Amino acid sequence: MITDMSKSLISIQDFSKEEILHVLETAKEFEKNKEQKFLEGKVIGSLFFEPSTRTRLSFETAVNRLGAKVIGFSDASNTSQSKGETLKDTIKMVSNYVDMIIMRHPLEGSSRYASEVASVPVVNAGDGANQHPSQTLLDLYSILQTQGTLENLTINMVGDLKYGRTTHSLLQAMSHFNPKFIFTAPEELKMPKEYKDFLDAKGIEYIETADMEEHIDDCDILYMTRVQQERFTDLMEYERVKDVYRLKASMLAGAKPGMKILHPLPRVNEIDQDVDDTPNAYYFKQAENGLYIRMAIISYLLGYR
């Protein structure tokens, strides 16, 4: 199906609940059949101003699987940004070459700005500590695949809830589905007030704790995150909190049988390798799901599915 729509995805709040469910449904079709080359003739710009493994490679694989071609860069130091070119000029110029721009950038708000100056749809592949909506859609897909529903689940978010953009986007998306949240973080990395205000306004329950072992047995999803070294301005503060949580297989003895551990990855040391072999570990399959979701996002935003 080709529709006349063409839009950007900057924040997960740009998608309604119906659009979210539509993309999840389309991703299921792509998981069954990865070779669907209906974007032949299209060119997609992949502009990564910040390091990435999964997001860039799964988006670029999605483009290839859909029959389109990719141009772009994974290291902005090789671009004319290093000669002083502004983001505005870069985006306006790349807009003239491609049918869609996928962009990761360290500055919060940069993707929204890019979508305002671009003449083609822009997908936010992560903007600083702000949002990472394609990660959220693959997180939702992973939750749906493992729990059979998105409704009435208890999600325990652990680690860097201050700078972790994936937790911010996921919290907003899950607000459509009557969740309960447990926010497990040290004082320095607590969920920012604006996100708690968002939940309060919607009447969604949450509790906060600093003790990781306290609520492992209560949750359906244990959403682990890395402490984001690159976002700290005070390295002493990073040193104080970097090893605050370390999940071990022995901590999972009382977990619900269907409880799944998600992590956007990369992990550093917050999940021991002995967890990888437990039935609760789902993070590598979660990363694989990124391919199907990103095929669905590109198709939807270009008006093809």
> Within 53-82, which residues bind ligand CP (CB under 6 A)?
53-55
Between 50 and 220, name the residue whose CB sits nearer to ligand CP: 50
Q: What is the DSSP string of 33-45?
A: -----TTTT-EEE
In angstroms, rounded to a whole number, what is the distance separating the alpha carbons of residues 144 and 159?
Answer: 23
Using the minimum distance from each CB to ligand CP, give the nearer residue, 16 or 53: 53
Determine, following the binding rule CB under 6 A, whether residue 131 of this chain makes contact with ligand CP: no
Q: Of 164, 292, 277, 139, which is closest to residue 220 (Cα–Cα)?
A: 139
Interacting residues with ligand CP between 89 and 128 (CB under 6 A): 126
Residue 264 binds ligand CP (CB under 6 A) = yes
Cβ 162 to ligand CP shortest distance, Å? 17
Rounded to a whole number of angstroms, the minimum distance from the CB of residue 61 to ligand CP is 13
Phi/psi class of residue 250: alpha, beta or left (left: φ > 0; alpha: ψ in -120 to 50)?
alpha
Cα distance between residue 238 and residue 176, in whole Å: 34
CB of 303 to ligand CP, least distance (A): 26
Closest to ligand CP by CB, 215 vs 242, is 242
Q: Which two tokens stand for residue 117?
A: 């100056």
Q: Are strands 122-127 and 206-209 parallel, antiparallel or unpaired?
A: unpaired
Q: Find the DSSP H helices in the chain.
A: 17-32, 54-65, 87-95, 110-117, 133-147, 165-174, 193-202, 235-241, 283-301
Q: How far is the CB of 56 from ligand CP (least distance, A)?
A: 6
Token output for 124: 């936010």
Residues 157-216 that bind ligand CP (CB under 6 A): none
Rounded distance between C-alpha atoms, residue 273 and residue 20, angstroms: 33
Q: Please tell me the distance from the alpha carbon of residue 109 to that of residue 98, in angstroms, as a whole number.
A: 22
- Contact stretch for ligand CP (CB under 6 A) within 39-47, 51-59, 110-118, 189-197: 51-59
Which residues lie across from 154 on neighbouring strands?
180
What is the total count of residues that contact ligand CP (CB under 6 A)? 9
- Stretch touching ligand CP by CB under 6 A, among 49-57, 64-72, 186-194, 201-209: 49-57
Applying CB under 6 A, does 280 fall inside the site for ligand CP?
no
Q: Which of 87, 265, 291, 296 binds ligand CP (CB under 6 A)?
A: 265
Does residue 135 interact with ligand CP by CB under 6 A?
yes
**Amino acid making up residue 86:** T
Q: Give the residue with the Cβ less far from ligand CP, 54 or 305.
A: 54
Question: Interface residues with ligand CP (CB under 6 A)?
Answer: 52-55, 126, 135, 264-266
